[in-house]
Every structure is written in C-alpha cells, then in structure tokens.
Structure 1
Amino acid sequence: MGRQNKACSICRGLKIKCTMPETPGPCRRCHNRGLVCLVDRNPQASLSEESNRWRNDVSGQIQQLQTAVDVLLRMSNLPQLSSYNERPQPTADIQQDLTPEDEARTSGHVSDGDDSLPAAPIMTPVVPVDDNIYSLPINYLYEVTRLPSLATGPSSPSAQRSRISHDFISRGLVPIVTAERLFTHFVTRIDYFCYGLTCPHATLEELRASSTVLTAAVCAVSALHDPEGSTVFKVCHAEYQRLVTKNMFAVVHSTDDVRALIIGAYWLANLSYTVLGHAIRIAMRLNYHLAYYAAIRDSKVEDIEKARLWYILYILDHHSSILYGRPVMISADEEPHQQWETFIQSNGNQEVDLRMSSQVALYHITSKVKNIFGSHSTQAVPEHFLTQLRGYFSELDRWYMCWGDRMPRNAFVGWFPRDGASLHYHFARMHLCSYIFRGTSVESIAASSPQVKEYAIVAVTSATAVLELIMERPDLRTALVGMPIYFHAMITFAAVFLIKAAKANFPEPAAVDTTTVLTLVENWVRELRTQKASQQHLVYHLANGLEGFLKALSNPDLDVSIISGPIRTLGGDPASTNYIMDSMFMLDAFNLFQYPGTAGSMEGGMLPE
C-alpha cells in the first residue's frame, strides 16, 4: 500500500513541520492563517478504497439480477440459471462439486424456498389476436393474461447444451459407450416394433440434446431387451420414472415428450397404464387429434408425424381397454379413425401407414361391439344378440382378408407385421368370445343353444391358433424379445384359457384334449426359456408362471387356484371345478404386470434379482 502521508499539502510543499490536532480538522498553521488544509493520501490507497466500493455495488446489482432471472425462469418452467453455463464442468467432477441445493435440483426435488415464488403470469409475447369472431375460450385466456401457453417451441442452443451436460449419462450413471450401444440397438431393431416412429434422431448426441426423458426411455427399453442390461435397466428405468414424474405438471411439452411416454406405454409393463393416459392428455392439449386433417390437406412432414403419433396412441388406448377392461379414452367414431385409407393414400402407401391403419381398422370393429355390450364383465348377453354378434365375426374375417397379406416384409423385424396381423385376428376373435360367456358356467354350455356351443369352439380354436402360429413362424419367435406387452398379455391369455378349459372338462363339441394342450403349452414355455433378454423381461416371468399351470393340469388333484404368482388371477379364482366361463376370459393385467416380489418396494415393479 506504500507509506501514508500525515502532513497537509501546504506544509509538505513548504517543507515545514505540520502539527495536526488530535481531533479531525486543519493543522495549526492553516488554522491560524485561514487556509484550506488538505491531506492527500497515497494514490494506491485511494484506488483500493474506490475499487472495493465499486465491487460491492456491482456484486449487489448482479445478485439482484440473478434473483430476478431465477424468478422469471421458474415462472416460465425453464431450467434454472445455473444450467446455462457455456463451459460445463468435466463429467467426473460434477458430483464432487455439487452443493446440497444443486443435488436437490439434480434429483428433481424442489426446495421449500421455491414455494414463496409468486404465481404471477410471465410477460410472454401475446399471441396475435385472431380475426375470427369465435375461438377456443382458452385462447382468449392466454391473450388476456399472457400466461404461458401449452404450445411447443424449438430449444435454444444453450438449453440443448444444458441437457447434455446434466443428463444421467454426463452424471456418470450410464457410460457413454453403453449408451451408444443401447441407442443403436433401439433404432435398428426395437423401434420398428412400434412402426419406427419413436426415435427419429440420427445420433445419440442429437437425441440427448433434444430430450433427456426420451433418452432415458430409449436406454431403458433397449436395456430391457439386452441379456446383459439388467443393471443398466434399473438405472435408466429409475431415471425415466423420475423425469416423467418431474414433468407431470409442466406447462410446455414437446413431441419428444409424447414419444417418450409412448415408449413407456408400449414396453414398460408396470408403467404402461399410467403413462399412456398422460401421453393421450398431452397429445390432446397439443391438438394431435387434429393433425390428420392438416396431414391430408397439406402433407407437411410435421403434421404427418403428429397424425402418426396420434394413431399410435389410439392403438395403445384400445390395447389397454382390452387388457384392463376399461372404456377407451379416444373414440372410434371420429373421422381420423374411420378414414384410414385416405391417410394411406395421402402419404404414398408407406409401410408404416399400412401397419398402423390395419390396427385402426381392427379396433373400429371391436369398439362397435363394446359400445353395444358394454364393459360389465358379469352381465350375460341375451340370446337374441348372438345373431348381431355373428355379423361382427364376419367383419373380422373381412378385415383379415384385407390386411392379412397386405403388409410387406420389414428390413428390421422381418415378417412380423404380416404375422402380427394374423395374431391380432385371433386375439380379436377371443375378445369377442368373451362377451358371449359372461355369467355362464361350464355346465350350462352343455344345455345352451347351438350358437353358444359354436362360439365355444371358436374360442378354443383361436386360442390354439395363437400358440401354433408363434411356434410355426420364425419371425414371431425372434420377436418375443421386442414385441409390445399387449402381445405377451394376449398370448398368455390364450395359453391360460386352454389350460383352464382342459382342467374344467369343456363339454362337447368344444372339448379340449388335455394331452394336446400340455404339449402345446410345454413347447411354448420351452420357447420362452430360449429367449435372451435382461432378467426383468416378461418372458422369464411368464415361463415360470405357465409352468405352475402345467403342473396343475397334469395333476388332477391340484387346483389351479392354489398356484402362486400373479398369472393365477388371469382367470379369476375358482373355488371348485365348477368354473365360471367369464372367469376364463378375465384378464387381470394389473396383476400380470406386477412381477413376483414386494410390489411396493421393487424397482418400478420389475422382476427382482
């Protein structure tokens, strides 16, 4: 700092002694002569004091700005300010440098202090006023209040960098080499069981920059189908569940959010029911249900993509309706769900549209049946309705003649689209038979009308055809690790129905040969045992459960009701050999998809180690 001056400038200039009083004031000489007494301190000391004052002022202003920006980001549902670093830390150092507050943000928890943020509307640009006299009421709300709308928008480069630098791969939860392998497996194989529409990104880096939740979904499902992916699956599944939970009440959603939820609904058995409903609600809020009209009018890539995703949600909704016995959320009576040929022609007869449209057409038939007979599982169908039901079986036959051989071979999943259509045909026939046997006992079939006996034969024939098709078609056998959970549930449905029909001594002419059923199901279980996937995959669990049923069938003294495991609930819980027919057609998918163990403590309801 240097030596500090003690003499005033006048005395120092005259080189005479300067006598300063003990109290602040002029020196004795300046006081006697009425002069202005100034003491010039060291220039370095003055500069230091000024610098300290400036630093304190600027620091306070920056703190105010940071607080204001944090409030604005919070109200806009955007990442916190700390995530916009231009130079992210190295991956290995991230966990070491995290403060408790950072760890809370990383784990998706919000601190108590966030509750104090005002719930005031963010001043976003107002949507241009619509010239039309009438618009949706919610649009006027956004115009007047300037609240954040539900529309999507492109991500900024800084937000994309933030996603990569803070996702579960950068945090070291999954090695980058493993993530690359999982990504490649998904986009070159698994995705094509869902029409090849859930991951349009060319590279893992592009995927990570676009959506963290979609990255987690892709890695989780790919690991589920990897023989060495059990450990990685647990990590990715937990991350996916955390991100979906965290974004449950988000205002802004993207197409990748919808894709991520579709992946969960398609392959993650224990989450399927929940994430499907969330995906449908988000898609409706983003007007995906109207994308069909724009797609056939303008044929824009974006509109076609949204329309296809909406069709997938429609298909999954009807899968879930059949599995869980619930009403559908998406009506089959809307134009997009009836004019599938128009959509196919507008896009040039592409394979993906053929595959999806075949499903849309199929569930148009099953929806009409459900609308007539309802979802009440114990209410018997009057005899005079059977003639009308016969007409729907005829529609199924025409559907199969139209679509059975219409799908070409896929380069990634072989003949699965064509063979899958055959399975769907028999699945639908079994589903229609379930309406006929509501509230009917096995003993009553012997005294029933010829029409009812005929449908009993149809049920047995279709269930047998399901298992025979899988054993005969190589592309179906290789697809056992990859196909959606709906296929696994319906195939298991067919196997358990045959076992219970044989155990219950079905009356003629629908009698089931026990030896034939034993051989057929044993071959099916043996095929399940040959599959290679992570230990959490359904194939292993289904094999274990079906073996228990086979033991009950081969042992006349063993009751099916004592079999342990959730598959027991697929057909109810008969107390004696007086089986109720509708119990044989009861599919309790909630129990099927809660694997053995403690359901509340397991890793997302998946198979334990």
Structure 2
Amino acid sequence: MLQKRPHEDVEHSAGPQPQVQRAGKIRACAECKKHKIKCEPVAGKHKCSKCLRGGLDCVPYNPLQRFQDEDALWKENAQGEIDQLRSAVQLLLRHNQLPDLASLPDKAPAAAQPVVISPVTVTENGISTTMIVPPMDMTRENSVEPDLDVESLVPAPMRSLYDLTRIRNLRSSTRLKSNANFKEDDFISQGVVPQAEAEDLLHRYMENMYQLLWDGLLVPHKTLDSLRRHSTLLTATILTVAALHTPGRGEMLQKCYNVFVSLAYSTCLSRLQNLDDVRALCLAAFYIPNLSWKLSGLAVRNAVEMNIHQSYHKLLRGHAEQRDNVRLWYALYVCEHQFSIAYGRPPLLHDDLAIKNVEHFINSTVVTPGDMRLLAQVALFKILTEAYMTFGSDPEQPLGERDFHQLRMFNFSIEQWRLLWQPRCEDSAVIGSYPSKGIVLYYHFARFQLNSLALRALPPPNATSSESLSYDRREAANIAISAATCTLTLIFEEPDLRRAMTGVPLFTHTMVAFCATFLLKMAKTWGGVAQHASPLEWTSEPAGLGLNFNIGQVLSLSRRSATMLVKVADSLNEKHLTRHIVRGIKELLKHFDTPETPSSAVHTNQPDTGLPPSGQLGMMGGVGAGLDPMDGFNMYDLIGSYGFGFDESFLEQATTNDFGLWTT
C-alpha cells in the first residue's frame, strides 16, 4: 500500500490555516492618483500634503468612478443620437405624407408581433426612389362603438363598413392644414434646390405660363413661401415645369424632376392629400410627356376620394365656397379626356351633372375669362368623347357607309361649338388674341381628328386601280386634310399663337406633330398613285381618288412647321419634347428628298400656289411601287385612328435614345 510522502511544508501538511488579517491599506486620494504621486497623509488632518498645499478637496479615489463617468457620457451621446434619429424619421414621414410620429401608438399590444418598417427602393429607367412603407395595420378610431345614426339611411357600402368597424384606414383622409414647418423639412430647405434658383424658376413660370392655363387656375399661390406652406408637391411640379421651359437648366431640371417623381410615388398610395396636391398632379400631366397618362388618372382618383365630384351638387345647394372645387373638377375633366382620347383609350370620367350643366354654371356664378376658356374645352371634349364612344378606337375597324351620317352630325356640333364659344373667349391684355384664336385652333384640330376616321383601316391605294372612294368617305377625308392644313397655317399666321407655343401644354404641341405627320404620310401613301397621273392631275386630285391634296403644299407646310418649332425649341430646355418633334418631322422629310431635289428646292417663304415647285416631280418620282424609301414605317398608324398613337408611333420614329430626362 502506497503511503503519502510527507510534505516539506509543515503548514500545508497540517491542513488549511486561518488567514492572517492584514493591516488596512490607506488608499491614495483622487488627486494624487490622477498625478500618479505618493499620497502622504498629514497627522491630525483629513487631507494629504498635496491637497493641503493646493487647497483642494481630498477625496478618496473610487475605482468605480471611471465606469460611472463613462456610463454617463455614453447615455448623453445615445440620447443625442436618439433625438437625431427621431428628427430624421419625422422628416421622412412628412416627406412621404405619412402620419406624424406622435400619432403612432406608443406601445403595441402584447399579442401583436413587432412590425419592421424598412425603406423600399424603387428603380425605374435608372431613377431610384426610396420610400418608407407604413405597416398594413387596421387601427380603430377612438370611438369604437357602432352608431345607428339614421341621418343617412342608404350610404355608400364602404361608409357603412366604416361606421360598423370604425377602422381608420377605411375612411378617406383629407389634409387641409398648412405645413407650418415647411422651412425645416422640404427639399428647398435641405439644399436640393437653392432658394434663389427656386425663386427664379417660379418667376419664369408666372411670367410665361401662368396665364396660358386658364389664368392660373391650377396655381392659386403666387409666392414661393405660400407654395411651400401649402404643398411641397405643387412646389416641385411648378419648378420642374419651369425648368423644362428654360434653356440651359438641364442639371436643375433633373434635380427638380427627381424630387417630383419621389413625391409623386409617395402620393400614389398616400391617404393624406389636399387640393393643392391634386392640382400638382393635374399640372404635371399637362406638361410632363412621359408621365401624363399616369398622372391624369392619379389626379382624378385622388380628387374623387376627396369628394370633389360632389362639389357641383353642394354649389347648387348654396355652398358658394365650392366654386373653386367645381373649377378644379372641370380642369380634371379636360386633362383626363385630352390624354385618354389622345392615346385612343377610354376616359375615366363620364359626363356627370357638372359636365352636362356647363351653361348653368356660367349663368349662376361669377365667371372669369379663364373660366370661359376652360368651359369651352369641357364642351368640346364632351363632343369628342361622344364620338369616341360611337366609333371606338379599333384601328382595324373601318367606318361603314351608314356611319357617315352620324359623322356629319358631329361635324355640325363642332361648328356650333365654335360659333358659341369663340365670341365668349375675349382677348387678353397679357396673352393677346390667344383665347379666341385658341378656340379656332381646337376647332380645326377637332374636325381633323373626327374626319380622319374616314380613312381608318382602308387598304393602301393601288396605283394600277382607278377605284375611287365613295362620296361620303371622300368628303370626310377632304375635311380632314383641310383641317390639318388649317391647323398648321393658323399657327404660322397668328403671332399670338406663335408666342404662346413656348408655354402651352403638351396637347398643343401634339396637335402640330399629329397634323404634320398625317399630311406627310398622306403624301407618301397617295404619292405612289399620283406619279401615274399627269402633272396637273397629280397636284389636284390624284388618280381619280377625288382627294383635294397638294403634295407640294404639304411638304412646304411640314418644313415650315419644323422651322417654326426650331425657333420655339430655342426658348425651351434641351429636354423638351419639341426638339424631338422637330427631329421626327425632319426624319420623315428626308424620305422625300433625292439628290436631284434637295430640301432647299422648296422655299418656305414662297406662297403656296397649288402647283408643285420646280423640281418637285423628280422628288416624288422615287415614291412609288417598287421603291419604298420609308421601309419600316407603318403608314396607317396615325391615319384615321381615333387617337394620336403619339406614344407608340411618333416617338418611336424620333430618336428615342436622346430622351435623356425620361430614360436616365
């Protein structure tokens, strides 16, 4: 059996010994510890020698003091960061038109799962927009008890659902309060757009465009402070439109456009709206071509959610404050119908009581000159919408012979419209004869748009066939040709219209593009037939088709249109659509030029005589069977289709790669 070896240490071998109490150690004071010197106590004193000499408080050093100081410093820094984050979240909520942070519940229910709100980045055409998406929660009003109020026995179904559940998200929310903190949280105060630049752009808008759109109906605020206080979206819209109409402001245009797109994205699903936000969407639809269709529909839906469509009924019941809301409803009608008919798509708004009683609105209220011009367009687009519903927009559906009686009735309505409204739209001291001449311009364009339906879905003319069009179809086609020609000629000959072209909405520029393109494509289509006729027949009525179509005049008008639009574009931003319209017209004109007959052979300063200019026959000689210089162009995409086809056809034929603003 092994035995343990005795340990040499007697104390260890004897087992654990009691610890000897050490003498208490005097700790150095905090001051000596700080200077790393020996702390020498003084007999009979409560201070050490150093503290006595310096007259300092002699406090014993506490090793936990350092941790306490660090903890206090961390808490101070953390509180500052929390305050900064709270301010940033509040700014994002206001920027995206979401409820304030204070309105959110302080504490979620115990059974509820935590909701993580993460920024969502949306990228379209190279433009990234970051938005804060609120949680999809069904929060109830403070009063949650259902009420059997019989004030409205048959309300809308969703109103009944709201009354029953009191779920806040089911109720339309209208924010009519002003933004009192606009100087702290909008894009101008953040330095995205300098205030001096914003003031200059607003001044240009008020000077050049304010009067053209119904005497500023969509812009009720005339100062930058007032705009910023009432609607950040309207402010961004005006600055974007102004920059788009200012040469040499490409960089500023892009900044304003980015801000506008970001705000518009947030507006799509926001439940907090005001009237100025609706005005902003409508105004942007009139001037920003790549977003016009989307914005017009969004403006209408937001306005309906705010019950603007009921303003006319309230006005009839004596609520005079609803007059401006009715005007806004009329503006939305014109905006939405301009672009729906232009694109050949059914409109969202129908002819309600306000639209049907335009004359009653004139007789029952104080009507301004801007109101007259607005109501004139309401009456016109009411006629065009009825025609759209009658004939449809199917480009492969030709008009039957029985349809021409109805077409003549619409032509008669257009004639009556001009006779009624042109005297009502008086000239202005600011924009001259633009109001009355604008009525004439829209008259010609409406006749062109209606009667071009006579050529819809017809087979291309055959150069070897003498088959002529029917009398009714030929009559309508000749009206369309005459109206397109008169549209372009009117702009050339009226100086007030030419001056206004730098500030008119997109729709007017589209008129010029549509008319010029229609006539050029007619020149190509009927030109192949014309070359088989005698020169005299070719200049008047090609090959028995019975169309009063002068190819020389068409080419001259088209070149004059391009020349005029070049001058207009010089006063606009490089991104403006007018420059691309000019490029598109010139591209089409190139297909009529041959080495024997260059473009310079047609002098635009010479009057049109009805006969082809010298060298014109040689130019048209290459446009016929066996040689098609316009290969790749669909000749019927704009002829006779109710709607411009402007987005799908004309812009594709222009140099779309140059649309820097809309694609980057």
What range is the shorter-chain TM-score in? 0.7 to 0.9
Alignment-derived partner of residue 137 in structure 2: 120
1: CA distance between counterparts of 2:641 and 2:97?
Answer: 48
2: CA distance between counterparts of 1:536 and 1:136?
Answer: 46
1: CA distance between counterparts of 2:288 and 2:635?
Answer: 19
Alignment-derived partner of residue 548 in structure 1: 587
1: CA distance between counterparts of 2:656 and 2:580?
Answer: 15
Alignment-derived partner of residue 245 in structure 1: 265
Judged with a 3 Å threshold, the aligned counterparts in structure 2 of structure 1 residues 306 and 47 are, in CA distance, closer, same or farther, namely: farther
Does residue 212 (structure 1) correspond to residue 249 (structure 2)? The answer is no
Alignment-derived partner of residue 307 in structure 2: 287
Judged with a 3 Å threshold, the aligned counterparts in structure 2 of structure 1 residues 48 and 277 are, in CA distance, closer, same or farther, namely: same
Alignment-derived partner of residue 6 in structure 2: none
Alignment-derived partner of residue 517 in structure 1: 554
Judged with a 3 Å threshold, the aligned counterparts in structure 2 of structure 1 residues 513 and 597 are, in CA distance, closer, same or farther, namely: closer
Does residue 330 (structure 1) correspond to residue 349 (structure 2)? The answer is yes
- Return the offset for 1:416: 1.7
1: CA distance between counterparts of 2:281 and 2:178?
Answer: 23
Letter in 2 for 1:546: I
Alignment-derived partner of residue 232 in structure 1: 252
Query: Can you list the C-alpha shifts for 1:177-215, whole angstroms capped at 9, x where unaligned?
Result: 221111112123313222112221121122122222211
Alignment-derived partner of residue 462 in structure 1: 483
Alignment-derived partner of residue 477 in structure 1: 498
Partner-residue secondary structure (3-state), 1:109: strand
- Return the offset for 1:479: 1.3
Partner-residue secondary structure (3-state), 2:273: coil
Judged with a 3 Å threshold, the aligned counterparts in structure 2 of structure 1 residues 57 and 132 are, in CA distance, closer, same or farther, namely: farther
2: CA distance between counterparts of 1:325 and 1:304?
Answer: 32
Judged with a 3 Å threshold, the aligned counterparts in structure 2 of structure 1 residues 380 and 157 are, in CA distance, closer, same or farther, namely: closer
Q: Please, what TM-score do these two structures have when normalized by structure 2?
A: 0.71
Query: Can you list the C-alpha shifts for 1:563-586, whole angstroms capped at 9, x where unaligned?
Result: 699xx668539xxxxxxx647986
Alignment of 1:85-100 (within 5 A): none
Judged with a 3 Å threshold, the aligned counterparts in structure 2 of structure 1 residues 210 and 441 are, in CA distance, closer, same or farther, namely: same
Counterpart among 152, 165, 175 of residue 174 in structure 2: 152
Partner-residue secondary structure (3-state), 1:248: helix
Does residue 572 (structure 1) correspond to residue 637 (structure 2)? The answer is yes
1: CA distance between counterparts of 2:506 and 2:657?
Answer: 19
Pick the structure with more helix per residue: 1
Judged with a 3 Å threshold, the aligned counterparts in structure 2 of structure 1 residues 594 and 227 are, in CA distance, closer, same or farther, namely: farther
Counterpart among 413, 416, 419 of residue 398 in structure 1: 416
2: CA distance between counterparts of 1:458 and 1:483?
Answer: 26
Counterpart among 83, 98, 111 of residue 78 in structure 1: 98
1: CA distance between counterparts of 2:456 and 2:359?
Answer: 35
Query: Can you list the C-alpha shifts for 1:33-80, whole angstroms capped at 9, x where unaligned?
Result: xxxxxxxx99x9999999999999999999999999979x96996366
Letter in 2 for 1:387: H
Alignment-derived partner of residue 493 in structure 1: 514
- Return the offset for 1:218: 0.3
1: CA distance between counterparts of 2:661 and 2:469?
Answer: 48
Query: Can you list the C-alpha shifts for 1:283-330, whole angstroms capped at 9, x where unaligned?
Result: 1111111112223433533x2222111111111222112211111111
Query: Can you list the C-alpha shifts for 1:550-602, whole angstroms capped at 9, x where unaligned?
Result: 2323443268986699xx668539xxxxxxx6479863334445795666984
Moved more, 120-129 or 318-327: 120-129
Judged with a 3 Å threshold, the aligned counterparts in structure 2 of structure 1 residues 159 and 119 are, in CA distance, closer, same or farther, namely: farther
- Return the offset for 1:488: 1.2
Percent of aligned positions that are identical: 28
Alignment-derived partner of residue 453 in structure 1: 474
Judged with a 3 Å threshold, the aligned counterparts in structure 2 of structure 1 residues 231 and 66 are, in CA distance, closer, same or farther, namely: closer
Q: CA RMSD in A?
A: 4.3
Judged with a 3 Å threshold, the aligned counterparts in structure 2 of structure 1 residues 478 and 142 are, in CA distance, closer, same or farther, namely: same
Moved more, 469-478 or 359-368: 359-368
Alignment-derived partner of residue 181 in structure 1: 200
Query: Can you list the C-alpha shifts for 1:220-279, whole angstroms capped at 9, x where unaligned?
Result: 111111123222112211221121112221111111211111111101111111111111
Alignment-derived partner of residue 603 in structure 1: 661
- Return the offset for 1:491: 1.6
Moved more, 381-390 or 289-298: 289-298
1: CA distance between counterparts of 2:93 and 2:469?
Answer: 67
Partner-residue secondary structure (3-state), 1:232: helix
Q: Please, what TM-score do these two structures have when normalized by structure 1?
A: 0.77
Partner-residue secondary structure (3-state), 1:604: helix
Contact 2:342 2:644 (C-alpha < 8 Å) held by counterparts: no
2: CA distance between counterparts of 1:228 and 1:450?
Answer: 53
In structure 1, list runs of 5 or more residues that go unmatched.
5-14, 18-40, 83-100, 574-580
Aligned length: 541
Contact 1:121 1:145 (C-alpha < 8 Å) held by counterparts: no
Contact 2:468 2:546 (C-alpha < 8 Å) held by counterparts: no
Query: Can you list the C-alpha shifts for 1:414-454, whole angstroms capped at 9, x where unaligned?
Result: 22221111111111111211332222235389533211111
Partner-residue secondary structure (3-state), 1:191: coil
1: CA distance between counterparts of 2:409 and 2:355?
Answer: 21
Alignment-derived partner of residue 190 in structure 1: 209
